[in-house]
A and B are shown apart, each in its own frame.
Chain A
Amino acid sequence: MSPTLKRTPLYECHVEAQGRIVAFAGWEMPVQFAGVIEEHRAVRTSVGLFDVSHMGELDVVGRRALDFIQHVTCNDVFKLTPGRAHYSGLMTPRGTFVDDLLVHKVADDHYFLVVNAANKDKDYAYLCAQAAGFDNVDVRDRSDDWAQIAVQGPRALSVAQKLTAVNLAEIKYYRFVRGAVDGADAIIARTGYTGEDGVEIYVPPADAPRVWRALLAAGRDEGIVPCGLGARDTLRFEACMALYGNDIDDTTTPFEANLDWIVKLEKGPFLGREALLRQRAEGVRRRLVGFEMVGRGIARHGYPIMAGSKEIGAVTSGTHSPTIGKALGLGYVPVALTAVGSEFAVEIRGQQVAARVVETPFYRRQRPA
C-alpha cells in the first residue's frame, strides 16, 4: 500500500482483531472484521463499534461564526442552541453540495463541524476562502486532535453507559455533551450513520485505543462486534442516508437528493440560495428515488437507468440489503418516474433488468412506544 496513507489511532486494534484493511479516502481503514452481514446484523439487533476517526473535524470560532456558517450552509444555524447539532450541506453558489456535514453548536462563537474524510482538505480550503470575507471568523482543522468512535445499535446506549457518569439517555437525538468516557475528555453526541440509536464519541487520539477496548469489553455480554466500512455502508444505505460521492456531489442539489428538509430558504441569504429558489420555482427535473430490483441482478453505483433504449438516469448506490433481503438501489430519475410503483430498467452488464420504485427509507427502526 502507498506509504502516504494515514492510519487512525485505532489501526493497531484493527490489525489485532484481524480486520481487513483497505485504502479509503487517503486512510488505511478496516472494511470488515467477521463479515459485512454479521456486523450489519449485530448493529440492527444489538450493538456494533465503528472507528470513524478518518472523518474531518473543523472548528469555526469567532464573533461572527454564526453568520459565517449561515452563509456557507443551507440549514438554519440560527435555530441551534448550544449542545444541539444538525445535518446540513456545505453549498456551492450553484446550490449543489461541496459536502454534507454535521454542524454542532458549542457556543455562540464556536461551532464544531464534522465532514467527510475524502472532502476534509477541500472543505477546509473552501471554508478558509469564504471566511476571508468575514471579520472575526477563524476556521481550524482539528482532525488530528480527535478520534471518533461510533457505538450504534439498540443496545448502544446501555453499553456506552458503563464507561461514563453522563446520563446518556438524557442526551436527546442530535444533541451532544462534553464529558468523561473511560476517563477521556470526550464529546458524546446522540448521532449516527446507521439508522439505529447510538452515540458518536469524540476522544483525544491518545485515549482512543483504551476507550475502544473498554467499549468492546463493556459490550461483550451484548455480543458487540467491531464493524468495518462495509457494514457502515450497508447500514446507511438501508436507512437511505446519503453518501457523498455516490448519492450527492457538487452536481446535485438538496432538492434533487430528497433533502428538502435541510434547506431553509427563508433564513436569509446564503451560498446557493438564488439557484435553489430558482429550482424550487421551476421544479426539479430529476429526483433521487429508492427502488427494488424486479428481475435478477444487483444495481451498483454508476449503472445506467433505462427507459426502453434511452438512458434516463443512473444508480448512485445499490446492494443486496441484508435486513430486507432484496436487491435495492438509489438513483436519479426524471420526476415523472418518482412515484412509488413506477417502473424502469437498470442496465447490468449489458442486460436490462426491471426495477420498481419503492418507499424510502428502506429500513426504519422501531422506536420504543
Chain B
Amino acid sequence: MADPSDRFYTHTHEWVQVSGEQATVGITQYAQEQLGDVVFVELPPAGKKVGKGEVLGTIESVKAVSELFTPVTGEVAGGNAALESHPELINRDPYGAGWVVKLKVAAGAADGLMDAAAYEKFVAEEGGH
C-alpha cells in the first residue's frame, strides 16, 4: 500500500494530516504491520497539551506495547472513540478509520516532517526487507 501524499510522516512511524487548525494523527501502514494485531489503544484526555515528540498514547498488540509520539505540538481535541471497541481498525485502515487522535495546532506545526516519498525511502532503508 502506498503511503498517502496528503500528509506528513515521522521517523517513529506516525502520520499527521493538517487541515487549518486541526491535525489528525495515526500510525503508518508499516507501523501497524510491525505491531501486528492491535488489541488496545489508550488515548490522551481532551485538553492535554503536548509538545512535538512527546507521548500521545499507547497502542498495544497481542505481543507488544508501543507508544504513540505526537508529530506536532498542540492540544488534544479528542481521540477516536471507535478504537475502544474496535482497535483492529488500526490494522484494517491505518490512514482512514484507524486514525487515533485529533489535535488543535498552530500554523506551520508540520514543518520539517517527511513527505510520503521521504518516508518510504526511510522505511526501505530501515526495514531492510
Contact = CB atoms under 8 A, between A and B. Distances in A.
Interface of A: 31-32, 35-37, 40, 230, 233-234, 296-298, 300, 319-320, 322, 327, 349
B62 interface: yes
Given A37-B62, A230-B63, A349-B58, A320 B40 contact: yes
A298 B63 contact: no
B37 A36 contact: yes
Nearest to B33: A20
Contacts, number: 37
A349 B63 CA distance: 17
A36 B58 contact: no
Question: What does DSSP make chain A's interface, helix, strand, loop or mixed?
Answer: mixed
Contacts of B110: none
A37 B40 CA distance: 14
A230 B62 contact: yes
A281 B62 CA distance: 40
B40 A31 contact: no
Interface in B94-109: none
A233 B63 contact: yes
Interface of B: 36-37, 39-40, 42, 58, 60-63, 65
Contacts of A298: 39-40, 60, 65
Contacts of B39: 298, 319-320
A300 B65 contact: yes
A295 to B, nearest CB: 11
A352 to B, nearest CB: 14
Nearest to A234: B62
B83 to A, nearest CB: 12
A320 B37 CA distance: 10
Nearest to A36: B62
Given A320-B40, A322-B62, 8 more contacts: A35-B37, A37-B62, A230-B62, A296-B40, A298-B40, A300-B65, A349-B42, A349-B58
3 closest A-B pairs by CB: A320-B39, A37-B37, A36-B62
Given A35-B37, A37-B37, A319 B62 contact: yes
A296 B61 CA distance: 15
17 contacts: A32-B36, A35-B36, A36-B36, A36-B37, A36-B62, A36-B63, A233-B63, A296-B42, A298-B39, A298-B60, A298-B65, A300-B65, A319-B62, A320-B40, A320-B60, A349-B42, A349-B58
A327 B63 CA distance: 12
B65 A327 contact: no
A37 B39 CA distance: 10
A349 B57 CA distance: 11
A36 to B, nearest CB: 5
Contacts of B63: 31, 36, 230, 233, 319
A319 B36 CA distance: 13
A359 B26 CA distance: 38
A31 B35 CA distance: 11
B26 to A, nearest CB: 19
A100 B58 CA distance: 34
Given A234-B62, A319-B62, A320-B60, A297 B40 contact: yes
Candidate in B39, B42, B60 with the most chain A CB atoms within 10 angstroms:
B39
A37 B62 CA distance: 8
B36 to A, nearest CB: 6
Nearest to B87: A320
Contacts of B40: 296-298, 320, 327
B61 A36 contact: yes
A163 B61 CA distance: 36
Contacts of A327: 40
Contacts of A37: 37, 62
B68 to A, nearest CB: 13
A320 B58 contact: no
B75 to A, nearest CB: 21
A35 B33 CA distance: 9
Nearest to A31: B63
Nearest to A237: B62
A153 B41 CA distance: 31
User: Which of A36, A234, A322 has the most chain B CB atoms closer than 10 A to its own CB?
Assistant: A36
A105 B58 CA distance: 48
A36 B37 CA distance: 7
Contacts of A297: 40, 42
A25 to B, nearest CB: 16
Contacts of B65: 298, 300
